[in-house]
Amino acid sequence: MENTKDYDVIIIGGGATGAGTARDCAMRGLRTILIERLDFTAGATGRNHGLLHSGARYAHTDPESAVECIKENIILKRIARHCIEETGGLFVSLPEDGLDYHAAFIEDCRKAGISAEELDPTEALRIEPSVNPAIIGAVKVPDGSIDPFRLTTANVMAARMNGADIMTYQEVVGFLREGTRITGVRLRSHRDGQEREIRGKVTINAAGIWGHHLARLAGVDINMYPAKGSLLIFGHRINNMVLNRCRKPGDADILVPGDTICVIGTTSTRIPYDQIDNMEVTPAEVDLLLREGTRLSPAMAWTRILRAYAGVRPLVADDSDPSGRSISRGIVCLDHTKRDGLDGFITITGGKLMTYRLMAQEATDLACRKLGVDRKCETAQVPLPGSDNTDDDRRRRAHIIELSTEQKAAEERHGSLTGRIASNDDAEDALVCECEQVSVGEVNFAIEELHVHNLVNLRRRTRMGMGTCQGELCACRAAGLLERHEKCARRTLNDLASFLDERWHGMYPVCWGETLVEIQFTSWLYEGVCGLDTDTASPIGEQPLH
Amino acid sequence: MKFDTIIIGGGLSGLASGIECARAGQRTAIISAGQSALHFWSGSFELLGQAGGETVITDPLSHIRQLDADHPYRVIGADRLRALLGRVPGLLADAGLKVSGSLDANHLRLTPLGFMKPAWLTLSDYIALDADAPMPWKKVALVNIYSYLDFYPRFLAAGLAKKGVKCHMGTVNIPQLDILRRSTTEMRATNMSRFLTNEAVDDLAFKINEVAAGCDAVIMPAILGIFSDEPVERLRRAVKCPVWFIPTTPASVPGVRCQLSLRDLFIRLGGEFLPGDTVKRGEITDGRLRRIFTVNLGDMPLEADNFVISTGSFFGHGLIADMEHIYEPALGLDLNVSKGRTAWYDKDFYAPQPYMTFGVVTDEDFHPSFHGRTVGNLYATGALLAGFNALKEGSGAGITLATALHAASRITGV
């Protein structure tokens, strides 16, 4: 199948960077298409702490990144308010950490422009009672939490509203070229296996760690080293503020509260490139996260662990080091014309979730230069869809009508877009997912507007199935609703079967206590009562082709 | 307090052995922590649905030789199994529960997602299909209640279509349920069943007749009759074609009905039912359980000549796993479990999971052991036992009931 539309820019990768780049390109009037191999946020974007860095974490080791972070922190609080919770953060020193780092840290923060307020340990315990009472020092910084799923969805929506086309479940299997120029991509669908070609003047590789493979497909080499980071999610919020260990960045030194849960992480392990699609949290990593995590907040020892997950950071070899062993710091934006003599191809990588907008801006600036377009970037000023109401609007609305818990939950997730969720009668208000308060109306909104084809997509857009029951009671309800749109019982039942398997993959590394109780119940319900088993479960959609 | 027999656990297994002991004139107590596996019951009991990689239909008892030698069915033996399980329909009938099914052949039940699974006994208002006979209907009406989310007519229709049955899908509403819809979480099966009595049932039947015109049968979610058969019978009298029920997600109406009916029978027979209590420890000396202590009774011990422990698996909290160990929390009985948590599970959700087979070690008479020594006046029954995967075998209810009735017959000599 041929897409005859001629694009200015093809962006590969549906993480925050790709979605942000699509938004930026579309806002600058470029004819834009965003292509994602699986689902938005399926890679590193959806597999991190969800930490809105103040930059303090980097203040001592990487001042340049620290400055970038605090600048973007302030911008995101303006443009992505519905994705952010301004919890504040603490950097705490334990007796074994000493206070040397602590003293230098405050000075480094000030240099980077990050407000860092030294607190008496008693005061720190008063404002954040979950912190280890053994702390000997504490510094308050403007850390917060950010929902990467929401952030990416909002960027995708903004791109679409500005005219961009969006394709998910399309994997780039080859590049089209004329001489030394990349002129488009060849795609294979993960849904039906069909191949198609898309033409564009500039192609931007924003595929994170998978960008290594894509560059090779395009005939150029970027050396990326995958570094796996594992994290644990707890069943409720232990802490109200982000907790960091005040020492050199290490394992399990950050506990971030977000939505109904909190997350401890990470570990850091170099893994072979052929393992990047095989993210598994090992028992040793679980032990380490718990051992170190309980030093930050002892309550972790008796709090239920919902699941474990891991993501891959792409560490990019520094082009200036001929040995290829040094790792680039910060954002890497490669113009392959200059670097490799390959025209029409840009790679944007390195960086972090915090700097996704800046990465998008750099990549779009370069694309504009290549296309001879002179339009200023406005992504730092224009709010994202969902964040475009003012505080006054919110206050007025909350004053006039008393919002229900479900409405508040939906508003937390979708911000000013909540009005698009149908709530005309009791049937639309009925809850599909009780843990996360997701209504029938919200599920239908996500299916119709947010590129949802399966239950995992739906989970990422709404938090359905992310709560304490891990989909036990809501997965079949959601499958029932999804089938009404997809109109294929067999495919939806396959999808339901693989959704439960996907939930299990995050549960088995922490399969004791109530997690084991929950999964035994889920097995009895779906496999026993409902008769769903391996014959019906043939996973679709989330497996890479190569 | 002193009893002849004390049963720890108030699920299907505990109730069955409790009823048999009380019926034999024993002074019997059941200590029940609360909800049991019956709360997600499908309306069907399974005996043996899979053996040797095959679906079992005819003569399931002849297939038990394909099971491991220490499987509870093999330990009991086919003949005794037949005798014990043969009493079950009568026991259920005494409790007011009518079932169909036989030990000689499995029938098929229709699951909420439209699959067919082998079953032994099925409640009389739930679908039990003869595996060899043609489908009893040409066209059925799949009738849901407006805004109810735990019934899946489209999946059922897809399953029935494979068997050549045409389906007409319809939704009905009656104003008596509006009060539930005012809250976003109340439209659940057991809640609806509380409102579906008398005139509400007549109104429902009237609406169903409108939707089901021209159909051979009505298939609807199991939302009636939590406390008695009356609403179901009233509906069946008023609807112009046969009505069949499909179980829903928990809490299940047939499950709660079964639990309450068996409990009431136990109490009618003179049994002492102690709800909402948990055994926290016992005193075992010289191979006998002397007395037990519960959370509610504190330091006041409960004594008995014989004890039965039927506290279930992890789901029933009969077994508890922490990060490193698995233990039996009530008495600290010896367990058959794999060492180290990575040996507890398989990474494939649908593979046989090792943890499903964990449980207490017993001798051939189902006496558990404590610190390596058999406890002669204690029996372990049901899901607490080790050595089988009831989910994969489709054998949960059969094992639960057989071991419960075995223990009761040993205790009472009946």
Highest mean pLDDT among A92-106, A417-431, A522-536: A92-106
How confident is the model over A198-220, as a mean pLDDT? 97
Is residue A394 very low, low, confident or very high in pLDDT (cuts 50, 70, 90)?
A: low
Measured between beta carbons, which residues in chain A are less than 8 angstroms from residue B389? none
Residues B208 and B323 both lie in one domain: no
Here the tokens at position A464 are: 């359905």
Whether A330 and A350 have beta carbons less than 8 Å apart is answered as yes
pLDDT tens-digit profile of B70-107? 999 999 999 999 999 999 999 999 999 999 999 999 99
Measured between beta carbons, which residues in chain A are less than 8 angstroms from residue B147? 426-427, 430
Residues B46 and B82 both lie in one domain: yes
- Between chain A and chain B, the number of residue pairs with CB atoms below 8 A apart is 137
Whether B51 maps to a domain, the answer reads yes
Give the whole-angstrom CA distance, residue B42 versus residue A532.
14
**pLDDT of B395 above 80:** yes
> For chain A, which residues make up each domain, given as ranges?
2-44+149-223+317-371, 85-146+227-316, 391-529
What integer pLDDT is reported at residue A396 of this predicted model? 57
What integer pLDDT is reported at residue A541 of this predicted model? 36
Domain that holds residue B261: 2-100+257-412
Residues B210 and B311 both lie in one domain: no
Is residue A420 very low, low, confident or very high in pLDDT (cuts 50, 70, 90)?
A: confident
How confident is the model over A6-31, as a mean pLDDT? 98
**pLDDT of B252 above 70:** yes
**pLDDT of A410 above 90:** no
Put simply, the answer to whether B111 touches A529 (Cβ < 8 Å) is: yes
What integer pLDDT is reported at residue B414 of this predicted model? 86
- Is the ipTM value over 0.90, yes or no? yes
What integer pLDDT is reported at residue A415 of this predicted model? 80
Whether B252 maps to a domain, the answer reads no
- Structural domain count, chain B: 2
Residues B212 and B316 both lie in one domain: no
pLDDT tens-digit profile of A277-332? 988 999 999 999 999 999 999 999 999 999 999 999 888 988 887 776 778 878 99
pTM higher than 0.80:
yes
**pLDDT of A202 above 70:** yes
Fold of A85-146+227-316: D-Amino Acid Oxidase; Chain A, domain 2 (3.30.9)
Residues B262 and B408 both lie in one domain: yes
Q: Which residue pairs, CB below 8 angstroms and at least 24 apart, start in B371-376?
A: B371/B334, B372/B334, B373/B287, B374/B287, B375/B284, B375/B287, B375/B288, B375/B289, B375/B333, B376/B287, B376/B288
> Which of the following CATH numbers is that of domain A2-44+149-223+317-371: 3.40.50.720, 3.50.50.60, 3.30.930.10, 3.20.20.210?
3.50.50.60
**pLDDT of B343 above 90:** yes
Which of A406, A486, A524 to substitute to test the interface with B, most B CBs within 10 Å? A524
How confident is the model over A436-451, as a mean pLDDT? 93
How confident is the model over A419-425, as a mean pLDDT? 81
Whether A27 and A384 have beta carbons less than 8 Å apart is answered as no
Residues B66 and B161 both lie in one domain: no
Taking the CA of residue B117 and the nearest CA in chain A, the distance in Å comes to: 7
Whether B169 maps to a domain, the answer reads yes
Distance of CA A84 to the CA centre of its chain: 13
Measured between beta carbons, which residues in chain A are less than 8 angstroms from residue B247? 529
Put simply, the answer to whether A427 touches B323 (Cβ < 8 Å) is: no
Distances (CA, A) of A482 to A149, A465, B247, B347: 20, 14, 21, 27
What integer pLDDT is reported at residue A249 of this predicted model? 87
Q: Which CATH number is B76's domain given?
A: 3.50.50.60
pLDDT tens-digit profile of A347-372? 999 999 999 999 999 999 999 999 99
Put simply, the answer to whether A511 touches B345 (Cβ < 8 Å) is: yes
The larger pLDDT score, comparing residue B122 to residue A192, is at B122
Taking the CA of residue A268 and the nearest CA in chain B, the distance in Å comes to: 22
Residues B369 and B240 both lie in one domain: no
Q: CA-nearest residue of chain B to A430? A: B184
Is residue A393 very low, low, confident or very high in pLDDT (cuts 50, 70, 90)?
A: low
pLDDT tens-digit profile of B122-177? 999 999 999 989 999 999 999 999 999 999 999 999 999 999 999 999 999 999 99
Put simply, the answer to whether B187 touches A430 (Cβ < 8 Å) is: yes
Is residue A546 very low, low, confident or very high in pLDDT (cuts 50, 70, 90)?
A: very low
Residues B408 and B268 both lie in one domain: yes
What is the SS3 assignment for A315? strand
How confident is the model over B214-231, as a mean pLDDT? 96
Give the whole-angstrom CA distance, residue A368 versus residue A387.
27
| Average confidence score pLDDT of chain B | 96
| Average confidence score pLDDT of chain A | 92
DSSP B150: S
What integer pLDDT is reported at residue A543 of this predicted model? 36
What integer pLDDT is reported at residue A537 of this predicted model? 41
**pLDDT of A545 above 50:** no
**C-alpha closest to that of B9 among B202, B259, B343:** B259
How confident is the model over B374-396, as a mean pLDDT? 97
Residues B196 and B317 both lie in one domain: no
Q: Which CATH number is B167's domain given?
A: 3.40.50
Count the neighbouring beta carbons within 10 Å of the beta carbon of residue A229. 21
How confident is the model over A188-193, as a mean pLDDT? 93
At which of B246, B279, B306 does a domain end?
B246
Measured between beta carbons, which residues in chain A are less than 8 angstroms from residue B185? 430-431, 434
**pLDDT of A540 above 70:** no
Put simply, the answer to whether A517 touches B113 (Cβ < 8 Å) is: no
Residues B365 and B269 both lie in one domain: yes
Measured between beta carbons, which residues in chain B are less than 8 angstroms from residue A521? 40, 315
pLDDT tens-digit profile of B179-213? 999 888 899 999 999 999 999 999 999 999 999 99
Residues B78 and B223 both lie in one domain: no
pLDDT tens-digit profile of A464-487? 999 888 898 899 999 999 999 989
Produce one character per residue of B148-174: b if its CB has 16 or more CB atoms within 10 Å, e if not. bbbbbbbbbbbbbeeeebebbebbbbb
Residues B88 and B139 both lie in one domain: no
Query: A119-123, A131-135, A264-268, B167-171: which has the minimum mean pLDDT?
Result: A264-268
Which of A289, A300, A443, A530 to substitute to test the interface with B, most B CBs within 10 Å? A530
Mention every residue, 6+ apart, whose C-beta is less than 8 A from residue B2. B302, B303, B304
Measured between beta carbons, which residues in chain B are less than 8 angstroms from residue A529? 40-42, 111-112, 247, 252
How confident is the model over A64-92, as a mean pLDDT? 96
B147 — contact with chain A (CB < 8 Å)? yes
